[in-house]
A and B are shown apart, each in its own frame.
Chain A
Amino acid sequence: MHKIFAIAWKDALIRFSSKAELIFFIILPIVFIFIIAGGVPTGHEDNRIRIVVVDQAGTTLSAEILSALENSPSVRPDLLTLEAAQTEFDARSATALLIIPADLDVASIQNGTAELELRQPPNDVNASVASRAIDAAVRKVSAALSAANLAVNEAKARGAFKSAEEEQAYFNAALETAKRLQAEAPERLTVIEGNTPDDFDYDPHVNVSAGQLITWVFIPLFGISALFAYERTQGTLRRLLTTPTSKATFLLGTISGQVTVALIQMTLLVIFARLAFSLNWGNPLGLYIVLTCGCLAAAAIGTAMGTFIKSEGQANGLSILAGMLMGMLGGCWYPLELFPKFMQTVARLFPTTWAMQGLLDLSLRGANVTQILPEAGALLIFAVIFFGIGALRFRYE
């Protein structure tokens, strides 16, 4: 027991011999949680397509068009100056740029010169949707004016007006009638929300905190491989041969030390998320069962990796690469529910998936200890398999 503790303590000292380790141990994980939690959509945002609108007319008519666009189910207009709107459009921050020109008024509609300018990128699906939404909004606003124009043309087809004043009076009367008819027009669409079950539990703070916690703890645990490579290249493993230390004692010491450090790191991140986002991690016993099993699985993979990798540099690179890939494919960066179906199945091959599911079950779905046992069991299976490989292949030289 004393030897195991001594090896674990020695590894901790080596790891934290450089102050830079603190960057990866606590500073970067916190920075990542903080930045990403603030950057991912919460699901409560206005997801309508953003368009920028320049109102050069400033008339009641242009205000009505803007109001109709505000009520659109698929576009979200932002009123800007031409320069600002063009900058936003050029920077692709807006899907389309709509310019309501200064000469847009009732008279321009009467004489058929009313036009809006729409700038959009080519072959863009969102731009196509925006274009339809703008058309629908403009037609709604101009329906009465359009009807009045039609009425004037119909009257002209049955004989010319005696004067421009008479034509204008006819237009005004028709416009009044059209407005009344529009106000009386029945609603032609009824919208019913289906009973689709929404089984996609998502909370950006929970998902990001759990995902980053797993990623940032798994990478250094995979780095156990670098510890082995370091000891091997330094020749210290060979020296151990001269002492009465068994292979099991050495492995147990190294792994228990790193797992303990990982649990401390996880506890700090759990506390940070609790304080920063008031995050409820769920059942504490369940939480530490998942965290411990996750640590054991990652440490086992690191141990197995350490028996294949020759240099410390390679081990460091591969640990980062494996941690990033497993984190991403295990749903730590993006919700697993958004993956294609076959990738959701493939994801079960990674311990990160099970650790993430365990944490989400506890924090999002209020699972109790019994309910997270399948995830904990899966993580322990990873641990047994990879420890087995590591122990079988481990050599002092």
Chain B
Amino acid sequence: MLKTFIIGFKDLKLAFRDRAALILMLAAPFLVTVGMGLVTGRFSGTDQSGALNIPVVVVNLDNDAIGNALVEVFNSSELADLLEPTASSDAEAARRQVDEDQIVAAIIIPAGFTQSVIPTNGVASSPIQIEFYANPSRPTSAGIIKTILDGFLARIDEMQIGGLTSITQLIASGKISPQEANQAGAEMGKRFEAGGTTYAETAAIKINSSTTATETNDFDPLAFFAPSMALMFLMYTVSYGGRSILAEETQGTLPRLLATPTTSVQILGGKIFGIFLTGLAQMLILIGASSLFFQLKWGDALGVVLLVCAAVFGATGWGLLITALARTPAQVGSVGTAVMLIFAVLGGSFFQLSNMPPIMQAFSKITPNAWALDGFSTLALGGKLAAIAPPITALLTMGLILFLISAALFGKKNLAQK
């Protein structure tokens, strides 16, 4: 066992002394992550999601109850994370801002809107419409604002229809006379105001919201890209380690090792342990560096460590398989780099897997990248250990199966046999 450890630690030392290897093991994932941070605006504070702080201008020409209520809704604390509302009295200027792509939408509440909804002295003015002047180049954000407007207007309609229905039925049933309608309507309004009924309480169908009982972190694009890049270059590291197994043979150091009282199982075990240790060290250094330099929150510490171990185990399995199938160290290098790149794109390191066709999403399951990335995303969003059990299990199973196949192939090749 001691010999296995010694061989493993020796390979770990060799890997971290190889400057060429360090470029792709550490510099590349770190710098590409920095690049991703730059292009996504992570370091400049620019939000790229299109859903936060949506700039919108509200022009309240109504200046009456409903117009003012709508302005209040858009300025409410509940919507503070979503909207960046600005008040204006110039409808034309607001439209121009949309045309110049400065804002997502202008909401123009025309004069007399409240009067068109609430009858005065039993007479409602002709219908007037709120104008929603939307930016066509930002349809998602515009859709969010329209949803908020729809919700507000649905409530207005609900109240108006409720009031009119009540009065109509009271008259129809003879409980009040038509002359008493105005007074009854006013009483209803007062009762409603005095009752202090909340918006949610007025709903005929209540919506019971529940959230997963975990604390959560805000979404950070680097929380996706940092593990993506680390996992991508982890595949380089495991093929680099695999290359060293064949290099020992071609350089003649393997026969020398076999001449010592060391079994082939100990040697191969040590080499595999070395690959695992190198991958583990690489991942932990990258996680540490991104936490230190970018204040990146990776989530539950124990979960992160276990997931890293599982991801490195799964990736080591692939490194061994590539080594077992290759004839020369150069072949391991070429195929390893190709697999690294294919797994990165297939595993969702560059583009969200949900955008991929279903067949690609199915193929992604063979990559340690996809499983590990799923686990890291869960942890970064506040998930606990139990939530990452499926990816950990998948990665361990993947590693075990690949290890068994590789062992069989190594046996066939008679590698490390005395």
Contacts and interface: CB of A to CB of B under 8 A. Distances in A.
B302 interface: no
A92 interface: yes
Contacts of A311: 19-20
A155 interface: yes
Contacts of A188: 117, 127, 129-130, 153, 156-157
A196 B341 CA distance: 39
B305 interface: no
Given A155-B175, A185-B157, A334 B39 contact: yes
B35 A136 contact: no
Contacts, number: 323
Interface string A123-153: 1111011011111101111111111111100
B345 A35 contact: yes
B7 to A, nearest CB: 22
A33 B173 CA distance: 72
A136 B207 contact: no
Nearest to B50: A47
A118 B158 contact: no
Interface in B209-237: 209-212, 214-216, 218-219
Contact of B161 (A35, A141, A144, A195): A144
Interface in A321-346: 321, 324-325, 328-329, 333-334, 338-340, 342-343, 346
B207 A138 contact: yes
Contacts of B207: 115-118, 131, 134-135, 138
A248 interface: no
Q: Which of B35, B38, B140, B205 has most A Cβ within 10 Å?
A: B205
B132 A192 contact: yes
A240 interface: no
A173 interface: yes
Interface string B344-388: 011000110011110010000000000000100110011000000
B160 interface: yes
Interface in A140-183: 140-151, 154-155, 158-159, 170, 173-174, 177-178, 181-182
B41 interface: yes
B123 interface: no
B250 to A, nearest CB: 15
Nearest to B117: A188
A39 interface: yes
Contacts of B381: 92, 121
A93 B184 CA distance: 51
A27 B341 CA distance: 12
Contacts of B137: 196-198, 200
A74 B54 CA distance: 14
A194 B100 CA distance: 9
B192 to A, nearest CB: 9
A120 interface: yes
Q: Which bucket holds chain A's interface residue count?
A: 35 or more
B188 A182 contact: no
Interface in B74-122: 81-82, 95, 98-101, 117
A170 B174 CA distance: 12
Interface string A190-208: 1111111110100000000
Contacts of B161: 143-144, 147, 178, 181-182, 185
Contacts of B150: 72-73, 133, 136, 140, 189
A118 B208 contact: yes
B331 interface: yes
A32 B27 contact: no
Interface string B135-167: 111011011101111110111111011111110
A258 interface: no
B57 to A, nearest CB: 12
A321 B136 contact: no
A114 interface: yes
B161 to A, nearest CB: 5
A213 to B, nearest CB: 15
A338 B138 CA distance: 12
A41 interface: yes
Contact of A125 (B41, B81, B133): B81
Contacts of B139: 47
Contacts of A194: 95, 98-99, 133-136
Given A170-B169, A188-B130, A146 B135 contact: no
A241 interface: no
Contacts of A146: 158, 162, 202-204
Contacts of A48: 140, 143
A38 B82 contact: no
B205 A116 contact: yes
Given A138-B205, A188-B129, A122 B35 contact: no
Contacts of B330: 18, 20
B166 A154 contact: yes
B132 A189 contact: yes
Given A136-B147, A143-B161, A314-B23, A121 B39 contact: no
A325 to B, nearest CB: 5
Which of A31, A154, A174, A346: most chain B Cβ within 10 A?
A154
A244 interface: no
A134 B157 CA distance: 17
Nearest to B98: A194
A318 interface: yes
Given A39-B360, A190-B129, A320-B24, A196 B208 contact: no
A189 B162 CA distance: 20
B345 to A, nearest CB: 5
Contacts of A118: 207-210
Contact of A73 (B146, B173, B210): B146
Contact of B204 (A75, A126, A149): A149
A23 B134 contact: no
7 contacts: A28-B342, A48-B143, A133-B147, A154-B188, A182-B157, A321-B27, A340-B44
- Which 3 A-B pairs have CB atoms at the shortest separation, nearest pair first? A313-B20, A317-B23, A20-B334
Interface of B: 18-21, 23-24, 27-28, 31-32, 35-36, 38-39, 41, 44, 46, 48-49, 51-52, 81-82, 95, 98-101, 117, 127, 129-137, 139-140, 142-144, 146-151, 153-158, 160-166, 168-170, 172-173, 175-176, 184, 188, 202-212, 214-216, 218-219, 330-331, 334-335, 337-338, 341-342, 345-346, 350-351, 354-357, 360, 374, 377-378, 381-382
Given A18-B334, A151-B166, 20 more contacts: A24-B338, A73-B146, A73-B147, A104-B205, A114-B206, A129-B82, A129-B144, A138-B203, A139-B155, A140-B150, A143-B154, A155-B173, A181-B161, A185-B157, A190-B131, A192-B134, A196-B136, A311-B20, A321-B27, A334-B39
